[in-house]
Structure 1
Amino acid sequence: MTPQSPITVLVCAGAPKPDLDSLKNIYQSSDQAYLIGVDYGCLSILKTGLKLNYAVGDFDSVSPEECLQIQAASDRFEQLIPEKDNTDTEMALYHIKKLIEEGYEIEAIYLLGCLGPGGRLDHTIANLWMAFHPDFKDLFEQIIFLERACQVQVFQPGNYRLTDRLDSDYLSIIALTPIKDWIIEGAKYNLSQSEWTYPRALISNEFVNPKDIVTLSFSQGLVVVLWIREQAQAKD
Structure 2
Amino acid sequence: MSQNIKAIYIVAGGPQQYIPEYDSYKNVSNTIWMGVDRGVYYLLEKGIIPTYAVGDFDSINEREWEEIKEKVPNIKQANPEKDETDLELALFCALEHDPEKIIIWGATGGRLDHFMANAFMLSKFQKQHPHIPINIMDQQNTLSVYFPETHEIFKDEKKKYVSFIPLSSEIIGLTLKGFKYPLTDKTVEFGSSLCISNELIQQSGTFSFEKGILMMVRSTD
TM-score clears 0.5: yes
Aligned to 2:188: 196
Q: Matches of 1:131 and 1:67 in 2, distance apart?
A: 29
Contact 1:9 1:36 in 2 (8 A): yes
Aligned to 1:121: 112
- What displacement does 1:172 show? 0.9
Identify which of 81, 100, 111 aligns with 1:107. 100
What amino acid does structure 1 have at the position aligned with 2:84?
N
- What displacement does 1:72 show? 1.6
Q: Is structure 2 residue 15 aligned with structure 1 residue 16?
A: yes
Q: Matches of 1:32 and 1:227 in 2, distance apart?
A: 27
Gaps of 5+ in 1: 101-105, 231-236
What SS does the corresponding residue of 2:97 show, helix, strand or coil?
helix
What SS does the corresponding residue of 1:83 show, helix, strand or coil?
coil
What SS does the corresponding residue of 2:53 show, helix, strand or coil?
strand
Q: Matches of 2:63 and 2:145 in 1, distance apart?
A: 37
- What displacement does 1:193 show? 0.8
Identify which of 66, 69, 82 aligns with 1:68. 66
Contact 1:130 1:136 in 2 (8 A): no
Q: How does 1:35-46 map to 2 (within 5 A)?
A: 35-46=33-44
- What displacement does 1:132 show? 3.7
What amino acid does structure 1 have at the position aligned with 2:204?
I
Aligned to 1:208: 201
Q: Is structure 2 residue 45 aligned with structure 1 residue 47?
A: yes
What SS does the corresponding residue of 2:96 show, helix, strand or coil?
helix
Q: Matches of 2:59 and 2:66 in 1, distance apart?
A: 13
Q: CA distance change for structure 1 residues 56 and 95 in 2, over 3 Å: closer, same or farther?
A: same
What SS does the corresponding residue of 2:196 show, helix, strand or coil?
strand
- What displacement does 1:53 show? 0.2
Alignment: residue pair count = 218
Q: CA distance change for structure 1 residues 185 and 148 in 2, over 3 Å: closer, same or farther?
A: same
- The percentage of counterpart residues that share the same residue type is 28
- What displacement does 1:148 show? 1.2
Deviations along 1:89-146, whole A, 9 cap, x unmatched? Answer: 000011123324xxxxx12100111123xx2111110101113436962168410111
Q: CA distance change for structure 1 residues 140 and 92 in 2, over 3 Å: closer, same or farther?
A: farther
Identify which of 218, 222, 227 aligns with 2:213. 222
Range 135-144 or range 69-78, more displaced: 135-144
What amino acid does structure 1 have at the position aligned with 2:63?
E
TM-score in terms of structure 2 length: 0.90
Q: Matches of 2:166 and 2:94 in 1, distance apart?
A: 27
What amino acid does structure 2 have at the position aligned with 1:27?
K
Gaps of 5+ in 2: none
- What displacement does 1:78 show? 1.8
Q: How does 1:114-193 map to 2 (within 5 A)?
A: 114-116=107-109, 119-133=110-124, 137-138=128-129, 141-165=132-156, 167-177=158-168, 178-193=170-185
Contact 2:162 2:196 in 1 (8 A): yes
Contact 1:27 1:33 in 2 (8 A): no
